[in-house]
Amino acid sequence: MAAGPTAASIRPPLPPPPPCFDYRSASLADTRAAAAAADLPARLVESGALVRVPRRRFGPVPAWRPPDFAEPEEVWILGTSHLAADSAADVARVLQALRPDNVVVELCRSRAGIMYAPDSDDGSGPGEPLLKSNMFSLGGAKFFGAVNRSINLGGQSALALRLLLAVFSSKISSGANRPFGEEFRAARKVSEDIGAQLVLGDRPIEITLERALKSLSWDEKTRLVVSLFRGITSTTRTVDTPEDEKAATVSPYELYNKLSFSYPSLLQPLIHERDMFLAWSLKRSKAVNGSKRVVGVIGKGHMNGVVHALISDQGDLRFRDLVGRESSETWASSIVKGLIRDTVIGVALWALYELLQTVL
């Protein structure tokens, strides 16, 4: 039986930004005057945290779109830091000033609970989340319900990697003493206040991690898991100064970059493909059809790739390519190929669950 395509063999519809591309210079002229007219802080524009991309900069609407589909008149993107204290205030100010029709956040359905989590990771509030809130956390109050959703979308291997990353991310960021995702909670609250539609704009994390695993060789997978376990079980460094706090605060994008440096094949599924997915959500998804103004709230590390995708797309940006699911493999072959692997990983998940209880 022929093997299905690997994650690395599926060519994305757009190439990543070339080294010479700088989203700030590419968007500054379109942002300065509009931001001043909306009474938005110049520091956000000059630092590259806030950009505006008007419809005239978009590529052509592809022929496969229905005739009544209309891309937004303008897309604003606010780059945030998921653990910075001022990001939530910036989100609130931008949304209140622009009053967009849609607010697109860098979250998927299984991570949407971050927007409703309490503003501190003390385990209080509805649902009492099992994991300290971070970009890899399992959403919902029921652990096994979240596990089932993750397995259905990405498989047990992707779930195991997600659990490891959740523990690792929580540990390396624990010294910052900051709740994760305050800007997303601010986006949700202000969207409700101004009557804007809230859109989950990121690709499901289960699919992203599944594709990330498939891009690695077995040797690389083993080294990655061993590295994560070593990081989890190492002694936590005490944070005494602001410099220590900054060093202990690692964003998901920075973590992805570190992983991609050691494992270059991860760069495409973890970063480039998600940049394109976010761009698709901002300008071409059904949720933004006919909108006058859309604001995206995303991690600042994605700004360059998302802006490049918005203005470089020539009608090739398609949802089915960005999801990255493989349709050539039958259910039967998938079950046979994964039976032994999933059995082993299923047992390992119980060990991971116990580890989560002791570490967090």
Q: Out of 101-110, 255-264, 305-314, pick the least confident.
A: 255-264
The mean of the pLDDT values for the chain is: 75
Structural tokens at position 66: 């229905």
Percent of the chain topping pLDDT 90: 37
Sequence-ordered list of residues with C-beta below 8 angstroms from that of 119, at least 6 positions apart, any chain: 179, 182, 185
Q: At what angle do helices 205-214 and 273-283 cross, to 10 degrees?
A: 150
pLDDT in tens, 268-296: 888 899 999 999 999 999 999 999 999 99
Percent of the chain with pLDDT over 70: 60
Exposure pattern of 99-122 as b/e (b: 16+ CB <10 Å)? Answer: ebbbbbbbbbebbbbbbebbeebe
CA 211 to chain centre: 14
DSSP percent split of the chain into helix, strand, coil, nearest 5: 55, 10, 35
Structure tokens belonging to residue 252: 């998901």
Q: What is the pLDDT of residue 234?
A: 64
Over residues 195-206, the mean pLDDT reads: 92
pLDDT band, very low/low/confident/very high, at 163 (cuts 50, 70, 90):
low
CA distances from 235 to 230, 266, 307, 331 (A): 10, 27, 40, 43
Q: Where are the domains of the chain?
A: 23-359
Q: Is the pLDDT of residue 325 over 70?
A: no
Residue 117 one-letter amino acid = A
User: Within a 10 A sphere around the Cβ of 3, how many other Cβ atoms?
Assistant: 9
Quote the CA–CA distance of 33 and 185 in Å, as a whole number.
29
Contact yes or no for 250/173 (Cβ under 8 A): yes
**Closest listed residue to residue 121, CA positions, set 111, 133, 109:** 133
Q: Which token pair is 249?
A: 């605060």
pLDDT at 332 over 90: no
| pLDDT at position 220 | 85
Q: Which residue has the tokens 């493989």?
A: 326
What is the DSSP code (8-state) at residue 91?
H
pLDDT exceeds cutoff 60 at 94: yes
Give, in degrees to the nearest 5, the angle at Cα 320 between 71 and 261: 100
List phi, psi (to 5°) of 311.
-100, -10
Q: What's the rounded mean pLDDT across residues 233-262? A: 55
pLDDT at 328 over 50: no
Helices 303-312 and 23-37, axial angle in degrees (round to 10): 90
Supply φ then ψ for residue 302, to 5 degrees.
Answer: -90, -5
Running DSSP on this structure, what letter comes out for residue 106?
S
As a whole number of angstroms, the distance between CA 210 and CA 75 comes to: 30
Prediction pTM value? 0.77
Name the more confident of 167 and 132.
167
Q: Where are the alpha helices (DSSP H) in 196-272?
A: 205-214, 218-233, 242-248, 252-262, 267
The tokens describing 76, both together, are 């604003």
> Largest alpha-carbon pair distance within the chain?
62
Q: How do residues 2-18 score in pLDDT, each as one tens digit?
A: 444 444 445 567 888 99
What is the bridge-based pairing of β-strands 197-200 and 74-80?
A: unpaired
